[in-house]
Amino acid sequence: SKMTVKAGKMPCSTPNVYTKVPDGGWGWTVAFAFFFVEALTYGILKSFGVFFKDLMESFDETNSRISWIISICVFVQTFTAPLSTVLSNRFGHRLVVMAGGVLISTGMVIASFARSVVDMYVTIGLISGLGYCLSFLPTVTILSQYFDRRRSLVTAVASTGECFAVFSFAPAITALKEQIGWRYSLLAVGLLQLSIVVCGSLLRPIVIKEEEAAKAQPREEPTETKYMLENEQTRTSIESIDSGVEITTSPSNVPGKTKAEPKSEEPKEHVQMLVETDSSPAEPKTTLLDFSVMKDCSFICYAFFGLFATLGFFAPSLYIIPLSLSLGIGKDHSAYILSAMAIAEVFGRVSAGWVLNKQPIRKVYIELICVILLSVALFAFPFASEFWGLMTCSIFFGFMLGTVAGTHIPLLAEDDVVGIEKMSSAAGVYVFIQSLAGLAGPPLAGVLVDTTQKYSSAFYSCAAGMVLGAVFLSLVRPCKVGLCQQQRRQQQQSTEESTAAAVVVPDLPDDFIDMDIGKAENSGKASDSA
């Protein structure tokens, strides 16, 4: 069932109002937009290595100083995730993503006129980095709101835009550089990223009003309130006996046109007002960033999983080519290894989405299996000694990386972690925590390589981080189960305490109607004698 609200002039500007999660509809357009946002954000970041040699020659800088451009960009992108959440909750996902597209394009265009590497730090690192955060996180958040049963599959397929971008942008930009130079090529990339604004305009907000049906159902009145109503209406019937009203103790049998004395009408209206006040719940306040997720033990474990797992996300892509060159493999064959890794990642994302789409299934456990296999792939790299061995490790790593990278953020919407209600705030805090590993991961791997003079040490450090991430991921479900049991015990305890502390109704005679009749007769005799 679907209810739409027609307001405004632009069809994409009005929110979609549903009685339940649609699992489709306008969500397919949002998935289409997310595909291109993923390609124009992470796809460009992973393809930026084609500019490294040109930047080193133009600015006369070392490889490490040039690599800090991407490190700062990734850090700013993840560190400002809570800001992205706050702005999305305040101004809406569409406006925030469009503003992010403008920032990304502005940073890239200005960077094409840079005269030093410090200018690159500011333009691409800070300006574009902030734009990447404002564009990516709100898009994946609103996409999760449009889907429920198909969420894992749709998100995984849409996230393959990053893989297709790595596979196509790198050779395209390389060919473009040979024709017009790296500065104009970077300018063209910046103008291309301006299309994120168009993708952001397609992010139509969604409103789920599934609670209305529950609010429309009449609430059962408390026993004490029922007794008060019965007592008041009984007294009204007794005092109105002269009007020919039948004496009764059942509210349903009292005629609607019964005329009661003014004296008895006041308490009746008072009791009804109490019932109406009790049945109207207060509307919840909208919070820009819900930090209550930090009290959830399952989310804390999941955040530590993301922190340590991020150590193994970026370093292999950076060091696979130097590792292959150190083994005597040619540059062309080394490029083939990186391309094979990108293609395998596509299949990994789609496969993970298809498996996680099965019902019923504990998605956290499937993710845990993928993380363990990803750790095995990282440990296998140092044992490869020739082209085909390294190619096999790269394909296996790319496939397993796709299963984890395409699902670890959407998995926050599952009830085993935080649920769809707190998905927006949880994603902001989660990515913020990831920023620490995103900034420290590549430099840490570089220090190990410089110390040991072996590229294999970088893969060992990534594998160690992934193993620690698997340990924390295995604790997510037990923490959630323990928290639910604790809340259930607290509810039972509070119910027992409220029952014990309830107002004790005094014992009444079996025939309390006779007492009221007697009171009425005595009052009548008193008035006659007066």
Classify burial at 168, counting beta carbons within 10 Å of its beta carbon; exposed 0-12, middle 13-18, buried 19 or more.
middle
Distance CA 307, CA 293 (A): 16
Per-position pLDDT tens, the chain of length 530:
344 444 344 455 577 677 677 777 888 999 999 999 999 998 888 878 778 778 888 888 876 678 788 888 888 888 888 888 889 888 888 999 999 999 999 999 999 999 999 999 999 999 999 999 899 888 888 888 888 778 778 888 888 888 888 778 877 888 888 889 899 999 999 999 999 999 999 888 887 775 544 444 555 555 454 445 444 444 444 344 443 434 444 444 444 444 444 444 444 444 444 334 444 444 445 566 666 777 788 888 888 988 888 877 766 777 777 788 788 887 677 777 877 888 888 888 888 878 877 766 778 888 889 899 999 999 998 888 888 988 999 899 989 988 888 778 778 877 778 777 777 777 778 877 877 777 777 777 777 877 888 878 888 888 888 999 999 988 888 887 766 666 666 666 767 666 666 555 555 555 545 555 555 556 555 555 55
Task: Please say whether the beta carbons of 303 and 433 come within 8 A.
Answer: yes
Sign, CA dihedral 311-313-318-322, equals positive
Select from 230, 182, 200 the least CA-distant residue to 66.
Answer: 182
Q: Which domains does the chain have, with CATH numbers?
A: 16-210 (1.20.1250.20), 290-496 (1.20.1250.20)
Instruction: Give the 3-state secondary structure percentages of the chain, helix then strand then coil, rounded to 5.
Output: 75, 0, 20
**Model-level pTM greater than 0.85?**
no
Select from 385, 389, 392, 433 the least CA-distant residue to 409.
Answer: 433
Tell me how far the alpha carbon of residue 148 is from its chain's centroid.
12
Distance CA 200, CA 33 (A): 7
Per-residue model confidence as pLDDT tens digits over 295-334: 788 888 888 988 888 877 766 777 777 788 788 887 677 7
3-state secondary structure of 414: coil
Per-residue model confidence as pLDDT tens digits over 174-210: 888 888 989 999 999 999 999 999 999 988 888 777 5
Half-sphere exposure of 304 (CA within 13 A, CB side): 15
Q: Given strand 2-4, what is the order of strands in its sheet?
A: 2-4, 16-18, 206-208
Task: Please say whether the beta carbons of 400 and 373 come within 8 A.
Answer: yes
